[in-house]
A and B are shown apart, each in its own frame.
Chain A
Amino acid sequence: MRKIVLVAALMAATSAAAQTSGGGDTGGGIVRAVKPVTGEQVYGAVCQACHMADAKGASGAGTIPALASNPRLAGAAYPIMIVTGGKGAMPGFSGTLSNAQMAEAVTYIRTHFGNAYAKPVTEADVAKIAKPPAAGGH
């Protein structure tokens, strides 16, 4: 079963995930990244870039907030709003990730890292909140 999921993910990645460059100084060509599917995969391939592997965030001149043991995750609407629409330096992921991927990620975060909000977030929950991404870069 896991193998089938992985193969399906790779096939999806080969068609849909080819990304050309946005604006600014960029690498050129296209990139075909393997498409993460499960909440754990999406967290590791995307969220972790800023929120860290332990979801504790970090602080320098500014702060990347911790997702671990975060009571603001109790209601699903708030994290869905942030993941789809972004906040401050964090980009919204509508258009980059599918509603299903975002639902998996939010469910994963709300049930791990010291959070225990068991009710799964569905693709439909995300669709209700996500706005379509705006056109044009830079």
Chain B
Amino acid sequence: MESGVRVPTRRQLLSAIAKVGGTAALYQAMTTLGHAAETQFHGPPNLQGARPGASVIVLGAGLAGMLAAFELTKAGYKVQILEFQNRAGGRNWSLRGGDTYTELGGATQKVGFSAGNYLNPGPWRIPHHHRTLLHYCKQFGVALEPFIQFNHSGWVHSSQAFDGKPVRFNAAAADFEGNIAELLAKSVNAKALDDTVTQEDRDKLLEALKGWGMLDNDYRYAAGLKASNHRGFERPPGGGVNGAPIPSKDLYKLHDVLDPQVWTSMAFFMGHEMQTTMFQPVGGMDMIGKAFAKQVESLITYGAKVSKIAQDDKGVVVSWTDTATGKTADAKADWCVCTIPLGILGQMDLQVTDEMMAAIKAVPYSGQVKIGLEMKRRFWEEDDYIYGGHSFTDQEIALISYPNNNMFKDGPAVLLGAFAREMGAYRLAGMTPEQRIGVALAQGSVLHPKSYRQEFASGASVAWSRVPWTLGCCARWNDDTRKEHYQTLVGMDRRIVLAGEHASYVGCWMEGALLSSIDAITRLHKRALEA
């Protein structure tokens, strides 16, 4: 730096900011300067000084409700939680061998998985930038392990490309990129881009296309060691006499790699929330719910079905029924944090403004279907060299996802045999659990024809549209409903505030539930101190 004014380095600047404003200011500054970022979490809320005797009733013992109870108790409030189910965690849930699950309509499944195996019907992976969740996992002692999100060796299957046969992700992606690079290089060399790209940038672009797209010296994407280095070999490099690699010869045709299944599978990993690194709790997703519950267990009343939430200037009265005994009771508190999913909440007798009621009723829910299949051995590892991650298919099951733990072990393992959505999910949800397993086996066999049926031991499915305590998986906002209802929904309605993934812009994720909860209780606390 030769100018007269000394410009501080970024590091000097950050350390000065940290000294003056503390770590929160440092974090903000880092965000502004392009570091860190990615979530609105700035540390736990650290609420203090509740008025003596002030009380809060929390409805729902999912993550949002339990976090609210935990932090409000710390702030000095007297807190109680009402929960419809006989367990805490809400959609943070795992099914294991010996568990029984009865869905709406009455179909009951007894899960037959071996010890240690599980299906996570709801959340199953955690992005590295979901800092709120990661913070509380650490604080509450939840052990996390990597979730193998991106596996280049998974299968990509389209019923309308590659003769309907599954192909390896790396080969399909390499051939897509190679073909696109070749076409773009052709355009550059045919001077088609001369009007828009400078000569200097054209040279750089050609260099990039050659390198990124594995093109040869004539800017062609052709069979050879260069392409094989991305897509895989006919005979991979080895040792000794036959050590020389043989490149793969038959590149996929442009027509096939342009099938939308290829680029959508590639683009999937570009999405902010799908980028690696991702995590899962050791032993099943419900380890998180259990760890939260440990903090607030004494506050929870289970089997409590809420039917009415009334409020006046003095407080809130929640009418509920004990689902075991049928007895009804009223619970009173100064304030209420309500995390009940909107589809269920909208059916209750609520003393809220008309605008709030309209907002609650305006948001529909998605109805994903997950199916866990226990296989007698890890044929995807042993036969196909797939260790965790996903295979994509355009059939209703949408994917097969392989277990991320216990790799190389003998004995049974549970894979995710369906993560169906939209039309695929509606169709699977409408079936009996037995029919769903039948479809999952038939469609999964297209990707693993040799072993899928042969190694199958038992299965379990959860159709979220039939889950008795949510009537769906996730709140589905759109541009119109956000504009018309969102601020009303998250606003305090006198003494009641809503929280949950539905009251966030991180919908469908645990992070959204937690961020919503922190925001809700922070405003509740402020209001309570002002009141």
Contacts and interface: CB of A to CB of B under 8 A. Distances in A.
A30 B507 contact: no
B125 A25 contact: yes
A81 interface: no
A1 interface: no
Nearest to B425: A49
B332 to A, nearest CB: 22
Size bin of chain A's contact surface: 35 or more
Contacts of A31: 394-396, 398, 420-424
B105 interface: yes
B104 A58 contact: yes
A23 B507 contact: yes
Interface of A: 14, 17-33, 44-50, 52-53, 58-64, 86-92, 96, 133-138
B390 A28 contact: yes
Given A58-B105, A135-B479, A136-B479, A27 B261 contact: no
29 contacts: A19-B422, A21-B264, A22-B422, A23-B507, A25-B273, A25-B509, A26-B419, A29-B261, A29-B265, A29-B392, A29-B394, A31-B394, A31-B421, A32-B160, A33-B427, A49-B427, A49-B430, A49-B465, A50-B466, A58-B106, A60-B469, A61-B340, A61-B471, A62-B347, A86-B364, A90-B364, A135-B479, A136-B478, A136-B479
A134 B390 contact: no
B277 to A, nearest CB: 16
B476 A64 contact: no
Contacts of B393: 29
Contacts of B422: 19, 22, 31, 33, 96
A91 B396 contact: no
A20 B364 contact: no
Contacts of B497: none
Contacts of A17: 423
Contacts of B361: 87-88
B346 interface: yes
A44 B366 contact: no
Contacts of A25: 123-125, 273, 508-509
Contacts of B368: 26
Given A22-B476, A45-B430, A52 B105 contact: yes
Interface string B269-285: 10001100000000000
B76 interface: no
A29 B471 contact: no
